[in-house]
């Protein structure tokens, strides 16, 4: 039985002109995960990174800290995050208001609910169903690269990890509505920690979720959600 380890990128530069850059803490979160994995003696057969800069930088931090100098690294944009800027633009915040973190989170969740509702799909550059299909394809494509006893480490974002986990949790629940599926995704997406790791096993029984959002390598102030 092989495994996929889905890693969320380290903290990006939230609130700056270019979000898609790791903060100094984000780099450290990646190094902490690399040190933890290296300390366990784990060496992946392949590292897959999404196409975003924060994915690449996190992968670099992990690989360097773990001492995996010879590991193969490939890029798969199928693991990219959804376009949160487009999503927020379709449900704008009240004009003239400076939002604090709590207010921003409330706005983000309202915008997410609109995006996942299914009633406005035509308005988005990538609808929620299209995003879900893209991540399903990326998950299947990566699972096909997992052989018996091999490990593939995937560096991606919170949205794709939550989507993959939701899909694996609910794929056998035939009576689950699309609305319930989106709600599960939304709840998981709220809590994915930067540089956390989600474990998926691949074997004769199919692809199954084993653990979600593991972050024991982070201590004290190192734990962030944005």
Q: Are 64 and 88 in contact (CB under 8 A)?
A: no
- Residues whose CB is less than 8 angstroms from the CB of residue 30 and which lie 6 or more positions away in sequence, other chains included: 9, 10, 22, 57, 58, 59, 60, 61, 62, 65, 195
Q: Are 52 and 21 in contact (CB under 8 A)?
A: no
Instruction: Render pLDDT for 77-135 as a digit per residue (tens, 0 to 9).
Output: 999 999 999 999 999 877 656 777 788 888 889 999 999 998 999 999 999 999 999 99
Instruction: Render pLDDT for 34-93 as a digit per residue (tens, 0 to 9).
Output: 999 999 999 999 999 999 999 999 999 999 999 999 999 999 999 999 999 999 999 987
Average pLDDT of the residues in 161-165: 96
pTM of structure: 0.93
Q: Are 75 and 104 in contact (CB under 8 A)?
A: no
pLDDT of residue 16 exceeding 70, the answer is no
Q: Are 76 and 44 in contact (CB under 8 A)?
A: no
Question: Residue 138 carries which DSSP code?
Answer: H
**pLDDT value at position 113?**
92
**CATH architecture label of 2-82+126-222:** 3-Layer(aba) Sandwich (3.40)
pLDDT of residue 158 exceeding 60, the answer is yes
Average pLDDT of the residues in 196-222: 92
**pLDDT value at position 204?**
87
């Amino acid at each position: 039985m092989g495994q996929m380890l889905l890693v969320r990128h380290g903290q990006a530069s939230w609130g700056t002109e270019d979000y898609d850059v790791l903060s100094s803490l984000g780099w450290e979160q990646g190094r902490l995960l690399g040190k933890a994995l290296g300390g366990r003696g784990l060496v992946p057969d392949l590292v897959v990174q999404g196409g975003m800069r924060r994915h690449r930088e996190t992968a670099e931090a992990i690989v360097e800290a773990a001492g995996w100098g010879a590991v193969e690294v490939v890029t798969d944009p199928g693991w990219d995050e959804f376009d949160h800027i487009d999503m927020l633009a379709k449900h704008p915040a009240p004009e003239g208001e400076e939002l604090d973190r709590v207010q921003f989170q409330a706005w983000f969740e309202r915008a997410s609910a609109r995006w996942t509702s299914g009633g406005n799909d035509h308005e988005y550059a990538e609808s929620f169903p299209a995003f879900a299909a893209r991540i399903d394809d990326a998950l299947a494509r990566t699972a096909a690269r997992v052989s018996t006893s091999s490990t593939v480490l995937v560096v991606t974002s919170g949205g794709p990890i939550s989507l993959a986990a939701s899909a694996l949790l609910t794929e056998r629940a035939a009576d689950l509505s699309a609305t319930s599926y989106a709600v599960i995704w939304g709840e998981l997406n709220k809590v994915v920690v930067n540089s956390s790791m989600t474990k998926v096993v691949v074997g004769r029984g199919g692809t199954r979720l084993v653990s979600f959002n593991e972050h024991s390598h982070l201590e004290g102030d190192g734990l962030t959600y944005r």
